[in-house]
Amino acid sequence: MIDKINLAKKIEDMDEVMTDKQQSQNNQAGRMIWIDLEMTGLDIKQDKIIEIATIITDAELNILAEGPVFAIYQPEIVLETMNAWCVKQHGQSGLTERVRNSKTVTAEAERLTLEFLNSYVSAAVSAMCGNSVHQDRAFLREYMPELEAFFHYRNIDVSTFKELAGRWSPEILAGLTKESKHLALDDIKDSIAELKYYRQQIWHPQRKADNTIT
């Protein structure tokens, strides 16, 4: 009799665990991880990551959490390899100086970013979201492989919408105003706003029409 009671209790406990797990999965459903990197250039074998930021949104593109932003230390010999565009852009934004003064190395930035993401999304659930994220993904695969592997293999690349709008609906592209600051967190917020714009124009154009009805 005792064994039957114990077995029933174990089954009940397992059901509670499964319910909690299912609830957690339901809460995470549709969550999107947005990421942006700044690098010293675009050559994966030579250039390095100098800034990383992440944001979690729900499926409606509402921001749920902003992850830590890291300027990643790189020695002067690496910074000296930057081309003229990077020297000017990262110099004017203050990123180069932040990198010089940073105490955070690549491995630590990867570890702390993963800790943040694990608090909101399970591994392999979210696609990698952002602008031209194939480039970010290539650098992550080279320098932050554990972080790259955390994402689903698919990408949600906002730049795809831009390319297609330019070909199929140039009037949509003409209505978009965007100026990149080339700072990781700001660029993510710009990407989210850009996708919201395309969503409104492509999937919900009737809402605009409805607003004009009197």
Q: Would you list the DSSP string of 27-76?
A: HHTT-EEEEEEEES-S-TTT--EEEEEEEEE-TT--EEEE---EEPP--H
pLDDT over 70 for what percent of the chain?
83
CATH class given for the domain over 31-205 = alpha beta
Known catalytic residue: 153? yes
pLDDT in tens, 117-150: 999 999 999 999 999 999 999 999 999 999 999 9
Q: Which of 73, 120, 153, 197 is catalytic?
A: 153
pLDDT over 90 for what percent of the chain?
78
pLDDT in tens, 54-84: 999 999 999 999 999 999 999 999 999 999 9
Q: What is the pTM of this model?
A: 0.84
pLDDT of 180 reads: 80
Q: Mean pLDDT in the chain?
A: 90
Return d(Cα 125, Cα 78) in angstroms, integer. Answer: 34
